[in-house]
Amino acid sequence: MTSPKHTDFTETTISSKTVYRGNLLHVLEDEVQLPDGARSWREYVRHPGAVMMVPFLDRDTVLLVRQFRYPLGRHFLELPAGKIDRGEEPIATARRELREECGYAAGSWDHLATFHPCVGYSDERIELYLARELAEAGSAPDDGEFIETRPTALAQALAWVRDGTITDAKTVIGLLWADRFRDW
């Protein structure tokens, strides 16, 4: 049943066209050549990338945010995150989002990992950071950011992953990662 290792399944671009360009989403339709020479089409979203972070208020407490997510029509508990602005360094995005969404600055930042949330139809990547030594920094959130911060015991957050209270994939990853691979 096992195939030879590292077979090359590369699909090459024949042509590419934008089929929708909004303020957030850029959707493309490409004609591609499959590994066997056949032709097919791929529809996908081009995304600027995002950051997320696990902000530790103390050794056992993380900072979650609660907000409404329109595509799903309900509120979600999430780790703080945000899109990378054009030309912005991901670590700068992380610092900005922690301040804007939560009103905190972190004295210590570590890059933990890179993830791809939606490989089937988006090129989005998410850079995951660990943020520690938090200190309040200004008022949060900004006008028009309808969001509230929720300091939460890591053990409680993990219980909420298991029982389905937390279902946002990036948040599940951040919490399980911090729990499994913690070396700080």
Interacting residues with a second copy between 80 and 109 (CB under 8 A): 83, 102-104
Q: How far is the CB of 92 from a second copy (least distance, A)?
A: 19
DSSP character string of 26-43: EEEEEEEE-TTS-EEEEE
In one letter, which amino acid is 142?
D
Closer to a second copy at the Cβ: 21 or 108?
A: 21
- From the list 59, 54, 51, the residue with the least C-alpha distance to 85 is 51
Residue 2 makes contact with a second copy by CB under 8 A: yes
Could you give the CA distance from residue 52 to residue 174 in angstroms, rounded to a whole number?
8
Closer to a second copy at the Cβ: 7 or 15?
A: 7
Q: How far is the CB of 59 from a second copy (least distance, A)?
A: 19
Residue 11 makes contact with a second copy by CB under 8 A: yes
Both ends of the chain: CA-CA distance in Å? 42
Q: How far is the CB of 79 from a second copy (least distance, A)?
A: 12
Of residues 161 through 180, those in contact with a second copy by CB under 8 A are 161-162, 164, 167-170, 172-173, 176-177, 179-180
Contacts with a second copy by CB under 8 A: the residue count is: 83
Residue 136 makes contact with a second copy by CB under 8 A: yes
| Phi and psi, residue 99, nearest 5° | -75, -45
Contacts of range 92-99, beta carbons closer than 8 Å, 24 or more positions apart? 93/50, 93/51, 94/51, 94/53, 94/127, 94/129, 94/131, 97/51, 97/53, 98/53, 98/55, 98/131, 99/137, 99/138, 99/140
Of residues 22 through 81, those in contact with a second copy by CB under 8 A are 22-25, 27, 29-30, 32, 34-36, 38, 41-46, 50, 66-72, 75-76, 78
Closer to a second copy at the Cβ: 3 or 59?
A: 3
Q: How far is the CB of 13 from a second copy (least distance, A)?
A: 8
Cβ(95)–Cβ(89) below 8 Å:
no
